[in-house]
Structure formats: C-alpha cells, structure tokens
C-alpha cells in the first residue's frame, strides 16, 4: 500500500514545489481574476506564456498535467461550439444549411476556451506541486484573521489534517473488509443493480463502526497527549516567505502590468 | 481438498512505477486433511498467498489448484462462489467484519449468500455457535454489545456456518489474552480433526506452529524459504535466524543444553515433561559414573 | 538514592456507570520513581483502566490517586498529563501528525513549547528511538513497530516522570515487539523515569522489577517476577501464561532435581543444572 498518493501531488523539488503555499494560492487567486481582463491576442499570449512557464518550472511530467485536464476537455469543447453557433458578430465566413458561422463566434469561443483552460491548468498545478498538508497550513494561516469573529480556524485545519492522515488507513480498511465479505459470498462486481447496492451494506456498516472506534481512541490519545484546543498552542509547521516567493511575486506583478499595457495598447 | 501452488507469481500494479512483486515463483503442496502453518514476517507475502486460496487474487503467472478448481491468468473460473463456499477464511481481527443487527443474522449471512436452504440455516447456526462456544442466549443480541472475544467467536461461527472443507486462519488469536489464545487454538484443532478439515494457519507463533501443525512453510520476501515437518524445520536455527525468525523455546533450550552438557538429545516434539526426563537421565548418568 | 512514591492508588474503585459492575474494586498500590512495574491480568481484569485513571482520562468513584503527591482530579489533570506519558495499543489510532516529526511535535505544541526547542527535542527523541531517518515519513509508510517507536518518542519529548505502555506491543509481530523492547531498554539506560508495562507478553514481565497481577478488578498479587512464577497453577487458573522455563523447572522438580531457585530465563536454568552436574 506504499503507492498511495493523496490527491494528485507529484513529489519534487522544483521552484514551484518550494514556493510558499500561500504565495501559490494568492497568485492563483489573482490569476483567476486577471484572466477575465485579457482581451486580445497579445494579452492572452502573455497569460499562456506565464502558465506554460510555470508548468515548465514545476518539472511535473506533462502526462500528469494532461490527466488533470481530462475532465474539462468536454467543457472546453462545448463552450467553444456554443459560441460558434450562438455568437453572430464579425464577418460571416461559413454558411451551411441553417447554420451561419461568424468570425466573432470563433474568436469568442477561442477566448473562452483559453480562459477555461488556463484556470484549470494553474489550479491543478497547485495540487500537483503542493501536498494537501501544505494547503491546509496555508488555509489555516490565511484564515487566521477570522479568529477575531470566533471562527474555529485551528479546529478546521486540525480536522482537515487528521482526515488527510486517515485516508490511507481507511482505504486499507475498506480493502480488508471487502475481502472478508467477498469470502463470505458477497459479490460486489456482478448481479443486478439492486443486489449490488445491497452488497454495500456489509461493507459500509463495519467501516463506520471502525471509523467511530478509531475516532474515539484518537480523541483519547490526543487528550492524553495534552490537547485542549487551539489556545496556547505553539506550532512546528511554519510557513516562510522566501527569496523564491518574492521573485515570483515580482514576476507576477510584471505580468499584470504587461497585461494592462497590452490591453490598452496591444 | 488438496491445495497446490505451481510457480505462482503475483505482481501488484504491473507496468507502473509502483510495480511490486508480492509472490515470486512459489510452489508447494498441501495434502487434503493436513494442518499447515505458514510463517513469515509482515511483508513476506503471507496475505497475498492467503488471498489466492479462495480466488480473491489470481496468479499473475503460474497456477493455483484447490480441489478441482484451477486458478491462473488464462483460466479464471466464472463461478468463484462455489470455491469460496468450500474455503472458509478467518481474517485477522475477523470481528471487524460484523455488521448485522443480531448475532444470529450475522452467522446466517454467509450461508444465505451461498444459497443454503432456509431450513438448514437454523441448524447450521446452532452447530457453528456451539463449535465456537457461544451460548444460545447471545444469538438474539446485537454483536456490537458483546466483548471483543465474543465478537471474534461470532465472526468465526459465521465462517464455519458455511461448512467449508478448507479453513484458512490468518493469525486468529491476535489480541486475545493467553487463555483466550489457547482456547481458540484448541477449538480450531478440534474442528480440524472432527470435521476432517484441511487447515492453513498463518501465524507468527512458532509455539503454535509446533504444537498444532503437521507441516510448516516458511516465507521470506515473497518466496518460499523452507518447508517440512515442524521438527525438521524448527531445528535449523541458523537458517531461521538468517531471516530473523526464532526457533521455538523448547528447541532453543534443548540446543543450549546439548551444547553445555555435550549431549545430543534429539528434538522429537517432546513435551516439557519428556524433556525433563531426558535431562534427569543426563544428570543421573553423572551419578552413576 | 531513596525511593519516593510516584504513583499511589488508595482504595480506588471505578465503574463506567451506576448500573455497571465495578471494573476496579478497592485497588491500592504504590509505584516508585524509576521503577519498572508490569501490570498483568486477563482481558477485562481492569488493567487498562488503571492506566486511564493514572493520567486522568477517567476518574474514580471511590478512593484517590496521587501522582508525586498531587491528587488526580479535574483541576490537576493537565499538570498530571505532563508527568504521565502513555502509548496505547493501536499504532494507527494515536498517530495524529501528517509526518513523523509532526507527530512527535503534537504533544509539545499542545504545551506551547517554543519551536526551536521542539526541533531540538524532535532530533533527540527520534534518535533515542532509532527513527532519525524517518522524520518526514508519512504514517502509512511505517510498520506498526515504527509507529509505536514514534509514539514513544513523542512521549519522551515531554520528559514525563512515568511512561505507560498500555499493551503497546499487543498488535505487533514478533520483530515489532523486539524493536519496542530494545528501544525501551536503551532509553531506560539513558533517562530516568518509571515504566509501567501493561501486557501479556512474558518477556516484558520477566524484565520488570515488580509485577502487579490483576484479577476481576482486584489486585491478586504483587511481587517480583521470580516469585510470581512460582504460583503456576494459580496463574493459569486466572487465565495467564507461565513461561517455558518455569514449566520445565517444575517438571524437573517432579523428577527430583533440586533446583535452588525459580529460574527466570534459559541461562539461569542452565547454570543451575550445570552446578548440580558439577556437584555430582
């Protein structure tokens, strides 16, 4: 079971991997925002180059990135076609039966597709180069101001990290129980839908029972180790903005500036 | 039922970076009606081997034969259910598989799945719960109200109620106290003899293997390392130590004794009493000198 | 050095609710500083309840428990937990951290120990349990024995006065058990703390300074391991195991071989036999 990788994280030591997760999240947030400001070939080109450069620097094999993008190909294609059919701007360049295609439709379709594509690409680059734990740390840190309004930031982060920690354990458990029930004659793979839904009960009940038991024991172990909530705790995990982060911020600001320049003059 | 492994290899996630060979070219034979102990460390391939015994996993290469069933990559029987009704598996911590509202229903779950007629099931529940020593008044209770030891008995009764011909036991005494362990092993041994079962016991306990098994297979890193009768295997201290396994205590003591006293008392699965007698004779021999 | 009482149970009784039977019934004993005590008994004899009472995970209905003279109650409990470290049975259900070092840090974080100090202690304790190479490893890549060693390291990191191993080796394979016992004896050499092992494992019992035998919620006996194992029949009756050497020694006595003492291990029995042999 050593092969379990939670989420889609691809281990590595690239610049992108070493960036502070908060930097990554911040940049992605603003990137999503500015993607909608691109309005011409040059500005789109700038964003595409930025995204491509990030992918290149992350050293994540392209097939992993392609895999992350598979679910959205359909969506991209669909929006493109929709625009092609619906938008009636620009010049008519192709005419077939009752359909009329305008250059504006092609351009708009392309633009929207590229936007989609870029959004998904950068967000999946985040999960590909950042462990779920780092993302949790970053979220905890960035939500810290909410502590003032009594939002349980620490508890939320702890819950997330414990859930992540127990995913492999519960996966192993599921495998064990399904083997045991298969040995008692449960068929998970064949038979009518109704029978197969019923077959899930002997799997789910023991899983819940065991998860509750684990939770109880874990709570006791945490208490025995002196856990009494977030107040007065120190932290081992520390996020640190480094040189790389500052560099990346500068580059990104340059990209934004470039975008607005090309938007106006491009 | 006879069990034969012929050059069995099993590879997890072949052709990926996570490829991992759990069993490598394994061959052995278990005679029908025998009691075999399989010993090896965590990661020696025990669990993978075990999953081959009722078709939960099918060899990547080679062939497994259990009675009339042949399992190989080319030859995967369409109906594994029948095989699974004949090979009962008691997994580690089997109480984790309980899920029904009552003990009775949980024991009946296996037989129902395998199509045992309603009229027979009641008899089977009675017989199985008697065999594991569950008192009848527990049958209507929820299994989750019982003690750990009782829950384990319920789970085992659920496997026995299917009336298997082969019983596979994966460390069935883990987590029990010493008395519970002994009672449980004695129970399996009695079943083995009375029902004429073929029993495969996966264990870490050299003492149990010595006491109950008539054949021992030692695994190491997915391959068969040694096999033979317990008194043959367990006297090879050096070979066993090479794979970090201990010999049973009585053998350890006997070897040390022979060395110190320059005697050569052979190991013949003797009891503590018999050993004490041999020692007495050595000491008495002194007196006569 | 004069031995001081570290843990005192004074007529302690405990049950889970008013209708349930007593799990512990008028239990009294004392454990001293730097002592190794094994608590044994069949499943359900109340031995794990003792552990939970010591660090205030449960509170008794009758009697009182003192740790270094301080009474364990709702108020003192967080202080007490600094002095009592526990390792539980299931290696998975006590591993909180995402990685080994996070887990060792958990107990220190709870106590607000500064980060630099944490890093220092993580280094020290992981070294003590032989897990320095696994600092960043995730729990699902560790064996049961390794997880328990991490659990021991995280207890050591808060330098408690007593370490309780509550059936900590019960779910491990023989190699895992050996790993833990070797780890424990090597840290006992270097640090001072009392050790309580709650166990069925005969080897753990034999190594202890003293054994407390529990039966049906009561202290059945309290003695040195050697003396405990002279009562073989009685031990078996309350569902416990007797080591092989003790059984063999008994059989030898039946054959009229006058062994001078109850042997605790193979070496002792062999030596005694050898002495008899030379004498004749």
> What string of H, E and C letters represents the secondary structure of chain A?
CCCCCCCCCCCCCCHHHHCCHHHHHHHHHHHHHHHCCCCCHHHHHHHHHHHHHHHHHHCCCHHHHHHHHHHHHHHHHHHHHHHHHHCCCCCEEEEECCEEEEHHHHHHHHHHHHHHHHHHHHHHHHHHHCCHHHHHHHHHHHCHHHHHHCCCHHHHHHHHHHHHHHHHHHHHHHHHHHHHHHHCCCCCCCCCHHHHHHCCHHHHHHHHHHHHHHHHHHHHHHHHCCCCCCCCCCCCCCCCCCHHHHHHHHHHHHHHHHHHHHHHHC
Is C174 in CB contact (< 8 Å) with chain B?
yes
What is the layout of strands, in order, in the sheet containing B61-66? B20-30, B3-12, B61-66, B69-71
CB contact set of C264 (below 8 Å; sequence gap of 6+): C206, C225, C226, C229, C243, C245
Q: Does B50 touch chain A (CB under 8 A)?
A: no
Question: Which homologous superfamily is C5-242 in?
Answer: P-loop containing nucleotide triphosphate hydrolases (3.40.50.300)
- Region of B237 please: left (phi>0), alpha (psi -120 to 50) or beta: alpha
Query: Which residues of chain A does B13 touch, with a Cβ-Cβ cutoff of 8 Å?
Result: 3
C171 to chain B, any CB pair closer than 8 A? The answer is: yes
Separation between Cα atoms, residue C132 and residue B218, nearest integer Å: 32
| Whether A176 contacts chain B with CB within 8 A | yes
Residue A206 contacts B where some CB pair is shorter than 8 Å: yes
ipTM attached to this prediction: 0.90
Chain A interface mutation, best of B96, B100, B121, B158, highest count of A Cβ atoms under 10 Å: B96
Strand stretches in chain C, DSSP E: 5-14, 24-32, 36-40, 62-67, 70-71, 84-87, 162-166, 194-198, 210-215, 218-223
Stretch B147-172: mean pLDDT, rounded?
94
A187 contacts in chain B (CB < 8 Å): 81
Q: Cβ separation of A226 and C82 shorter than 8 Å?
A: yes
Helices (H) and strands (E) in chain C, counts: 11, 10
What residues does A95 pair with on adjacent strands?
Answer: A100
Distance CA A36, CA A116 (A): 10
Q: Is the pLDDT of residue B288 over 70?
A: no
The reported pLDDT for the residue numbered A1 is 38
- pLDDT band of residue B286 (cuts 50, 70, 90) is low
User: Considering all CA atoms of chain A, what is the largest pairwise distance in Å, rounded to the nearest integer?
Assistant: 76
Number of domains in chain B: 1
Query: Could you tell me if A68 and A20 are in contact, meaning their C-beta atoms sit under 8 angstroms apart?
Result: no
pLDDT at C115: 94
pLDDT band, residue B134 (cuts 50/70/90): very high
- Rounded distance, CA A220 to CA B247, Å? 38
**Is C273 in Cβ contact with B283 (below 8 Å)?**
yes
> Where residue A79 falls among pLDDT bands split at 50, 70, 90?
confident
A221 interfaces chain C, CB cutoff of 8 Å: yes
Q: Which of A173, A218, A224 to mutate to test binding with chain C, by most C CBs within 10 Å of its CB?
A: A224
Taking the CA of residue A74 and the nearest CA in chain C, the distance in Å comes to 36
Looking only at the bridges linking them, the beta strands covering B3-12 and B61-66 are: antiparallel
Structure tokens, A189:
């793979």
- B221 Cβ contact partners less than 8 Å away, ≥ 6 residues apart: B24, B43, B44, B45
Whole-number pLDDT of residue A3: 44
- The answer to whether C234 contacts chain B (CB < 8 Å) is no
Tell me how far CA of residue A8 lies from CA of A4, A67, A123, C138, in angstroms: 10, 10, 12, 16
CB contact under 8 A, B178 and C241: yes
CB B185 within 8 A of CB B218: no
pLDDT at B289 over 50: no
Q: Work out the average pLDDT over B183-206.
A: 94
C251 in contact with B, Cβ within 8 Å: yes
Inter-chain contact C252–B179, Cβ cutoff 8 Å? no
Q: With an 8 Å Cβ cutoff, is B204 touching chain C?
A: yes
Look at residue A220 in the predicted model and tell me its pLDDT: 94
In the Cβ-directed half-sphere of A243, how many Cα atoms lie within 13 Å? 1
Q: How confident is the model over A23-48, as a mean pLDDT?
A: 90
- Segment A188-197 shows an average pLDDT of 81
Please answer yes or no on whether A185 and B113 come within 8 Å at the CB atom: yes
Q: What is the largest CA-CA distance in chain B?
A: 74
User: Mutual orientation of helices B249-261 and C244-254 as an angle, nearest 10°?
Assistant: 60
What is residue C27's predicted lDDT score, i.e. its pLDDT?
96
B54 contact residues in A (CB cutoff 8 A): 183
Is residue A4 over pLDDT 60?
no
Whether C213 has its CB under 8 Å from any CB of chain B: the answer is no
Question: Is the CB of residue C11 less than 8 Å away from at least one CB of chain B?
Answer: no
pLDDT in tens, A162-189: 998 898 899 989 999 999 999 999 987 7
Domain residues for the domain of B255 are 248-289
A260 pLDDT higher than 70: yes
Is B76 within 8 Å of chain A by CB? no
Which residues from chain B sit within 8 angstroms of residue A176, using beta carbons?
Answer: 91, 96
pLDDT band, residue B269 (cuts 50/70/90) = confident
The candidate with the shortest Cα–Cα distance to C263, out of C208, C213, C220, C225, is: C225
Alpha carbons A71 and A117: distance in angstroms, whole number: 11
Cβ contact, residue pair B272, C248, below 8 Å = yes
State the pLDDT at residue C280. Answer: 65
- Encode pLDDT of A206-230 as tens digits: 999 999 999 999 999 999 999 988 8
Which chains have 3 or more CB–CB distances shorter than 8 Å to chain B?
A: A, C
Q: What is the number of residues in chain C?
A: 280
Cα–Cα distances in angstroms (integers) from residue C246 to residues A213, B282, C50, C233, in the given order: 39, 20, 28, 11
State whether C255 and B253 contact (CB < 8 Å): no
pLDDT at A7 over 70: no
Using alpha carbons only, what angle is made at residue A92 by residues A88 and A95, rounded to the nearest 5 degrees? Answer: 100
| pLDDT band at residue B22 using 50, 70 and 90 as cut-offs | very high
Residue B158: its chain A contacts at CB < 8 A? 184
Residue spans of the domains in chain C: they are: 5-242, 243-280
pLDDT for the residue C270: 92
Which phi and psi angles does C210 have, rounded to 5°? -150, 150
**Bridge-based pairing state of the strands C84-87 and B61-66:** unpaired
State residue C60 phi and psi, 5-degree precision.
-75, 155
Cα-based distances in Å from C24 to A216, B176, C45, C60, C218: 22, 20, 8, 9, 6
Q: Which residue of B has its CA nearest to A195?
A: B113
Work out the number of other CB atoms within 10 angstroms of the CB of residue C21: 9
Q: Is the dihedral of CA A194, A195, A201, A203 positive or negative?
A: negative
**Which of B256, B283, B288 is the best substitution to test chain C (most C C-beta atoms within 10 A)?**
B283
- Strand, coil or helix: what is C176? helix
B148 touches chain C (CB under 8 A): yes
Q: How far is CA C72 from CA C57, C120, C164, in A?
A: 10, 31, 16
Q: What is the mean pLDDT of residues B69-90?
A: 88
The set of residues, in sequence order, having a beta carbon less than 8 Å from that of B39 and lying 6+ positions away, is B202, B203, B204, B206, B209, B216, B217, B218, B219, B245
Q: Which residues pair with C36 in a beta bridge?
A: C195
At C85, is the secondary structure helix, strand, or coil? Answer: strand
Nearest to B276 among C43, C175, C248 (CB): C248
Does the CB of A185 have a partner CB in chain B at under 8 Å?
Answer: yes
Please report, rounded to a whole number, the percentage of residues in chain A having pLDDT higher than 90.
37
- pLDDT for the residue numbered C158: 93
Angle between helix C115-128 and C144-156 (nearest 10): 130
B81 → closest Cβ in A177, A185, A210: A185
Cβ proximity of B84 and A213 under 8 Å: no
- Residues of chain C where predicted confidence (pLDDT) is lower than 50: 1
Q: Is there a contact between B201 and B216 (Cβ–Cβ < 8 Å)?
A: no
Residue B143: predicted pLDDT: 95
Q: Which residue has the tokens 């220092």?
A: C120
């Amino acid at each position: 079971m050593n092969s379990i990788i939670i989420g889609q994280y691809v281990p590595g030591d690239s610049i992108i991997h070493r960036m502070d997760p908060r930097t990554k999240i911040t940049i992605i947030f603003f990137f999503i925002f500015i993607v909608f400001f691109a309005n011409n070939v040059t500005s789109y080109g700038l964003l595409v180059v930025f995204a491509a450069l990030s992918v290149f620097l992350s050293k994540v094999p392209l097939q992993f990135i392609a895999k992350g993008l598979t679910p959205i190909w359909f969506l991209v294609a669909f929006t493109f076609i929709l625009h092609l059919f619906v938008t009636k701007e620009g010049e008519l360049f192709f005419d077939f039966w009752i359909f009329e295609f305008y250059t504006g439709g092609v351009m708009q379709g392309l633009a929207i597709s590229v936007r989609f594509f870029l959004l998904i690409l950068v967000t999946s680059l985040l999960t590909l180069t950042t462990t779920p734990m780092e993302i949790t740390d970053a979220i905890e840190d960035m939500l810290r101001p909410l502590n003032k309004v009594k939002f349980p930031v620490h508890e939320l982060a702890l819950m997330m990290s414990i859930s992540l920690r127990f995913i492999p354990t519960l996966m192993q458990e599921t495998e064990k129980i399904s083997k045991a029930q298969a040995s008692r004659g449960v068929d998970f793979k064949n038979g009518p839908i109704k029978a197969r839904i019923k077959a899930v009960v002997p799997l789910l009940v023991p899983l819940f029972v065991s998860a509750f038991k684990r939770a109880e024991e874990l709570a006791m172990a945490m208490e025995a180790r002196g856990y009494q909530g977030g107040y007065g705790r120190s932290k081992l995990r520390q996020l640190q903005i480094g040189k790389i982060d500052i560099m990346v911020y500068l580059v990104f600001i340059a990209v934004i500036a470039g975008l607005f320049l090309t938007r106006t003059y491009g | 039922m006879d069990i034969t492994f012929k050059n069995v290899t099993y590879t997890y996630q072949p052709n990926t970076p996570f490829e991992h060979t759990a069993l490598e070219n394994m061959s052995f034979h278990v005679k029908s009606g025998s009691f075999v102990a399989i010993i090896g460390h965590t990661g020696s391939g025990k669990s993978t081997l075990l999953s081959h015994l009722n078709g939960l996993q099918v060899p990547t290469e080679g062939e497994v034969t259990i009675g009339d069933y042949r399992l190989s990559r080319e030859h995967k029987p369409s109906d594994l259910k029948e095989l699974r009704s004949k090979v009962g598996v008691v997994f580690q911590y089997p109480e984790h598989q309980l899920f029904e509202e009552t003990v009775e229903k949980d024991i009946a779950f296996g037989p129902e799945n395998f199509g045992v007629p309603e009229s027979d099931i009641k008899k089977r529940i009675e017989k199985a719960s008697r065999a594991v020593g569950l008192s009848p008044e527990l049958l209507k209770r929820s299994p989750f109200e019982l003690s750990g030891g009782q829950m384990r008995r319920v789970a085992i009764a659920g496997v026995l109620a299917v009336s298997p011909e082969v019983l596979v036991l994966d460390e069935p005494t883990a987590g029990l106290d010493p008395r519970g362990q002994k009672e449980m092993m004695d129970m399996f041994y009695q079943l083995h003899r009375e029902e004429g079962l073929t029993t495969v016991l996966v264990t870490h306990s050299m003492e149990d293997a010595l006491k109950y098994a008539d054949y021992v297979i030692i695994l190491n890193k997915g391959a068969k390392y040694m096999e033979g009768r317990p008194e043959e295997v367990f006297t090879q201290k050096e070979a066993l130590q090479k794979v970090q396994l201990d010999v049973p205590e009585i053998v350890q003591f006997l070897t040390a004794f022979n060395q110190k006293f320059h005697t050569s008392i052979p190991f013949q699965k003797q009891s503590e009493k018999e050993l004490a007698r041999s020692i007495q004779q050595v000491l008495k021999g002194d007196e006569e000198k | 050095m004069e031995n001081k009482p570290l843990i005192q149970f004074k007529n302690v009784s405990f049950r889970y609710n008013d209708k349930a039977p007593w799990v512990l019934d008028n239990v009294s004993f004392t454990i001293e500083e730097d002592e190794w005590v094994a608590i044994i008994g069949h499943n359900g004899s109340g031995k794990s309840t003792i552990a939970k009472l010591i660090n205030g995970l449960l509170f008794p209905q009758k009697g009182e428990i003192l740790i270094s003279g301080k009474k364990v109650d709702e108020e003192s409990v967080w202080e007490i937990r600094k002095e009592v470290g526990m390792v539980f049975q299931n290696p998975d259900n006590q591993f909180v951290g995402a990685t080994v070092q996070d887990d060792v840090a958990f107990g220190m974080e709870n106590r607000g120990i500064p980060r630099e100090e944490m890093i220092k202690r993580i280094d020290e304790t992981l070294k003590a349990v032989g897990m320095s190479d696994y600092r960043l490893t995730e729990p699902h890549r560790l064996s049961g024995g390794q997880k328990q060693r991490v659990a021991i390291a995280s207890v050591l990191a808060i330098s408690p006065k007593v370490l309780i191993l509550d059936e900590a080796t019960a779910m491990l394979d023989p190699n895992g058990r050996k790993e833990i016992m070797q780890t424990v004896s090597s840290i006992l050499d270097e640090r001072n703390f009392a050790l309580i092992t709650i166990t069925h494992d005969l080897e753990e019992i034999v190594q202890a300074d003293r054994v407390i035998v529990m039966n049906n919620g009561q202290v059945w006996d309290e003695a040195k391991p050697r003396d405990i194992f002279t009562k073989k029949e009685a031990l078996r009756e309350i569902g416990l195991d007797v080591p092989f050497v003790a059984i063999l020694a008994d059989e030898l006595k039946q054959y009229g071989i006058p062994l001078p003492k109850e042997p605790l291990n193979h070496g002792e029995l062999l030596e005694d036999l050898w002495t008899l042999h030379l004498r004749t």
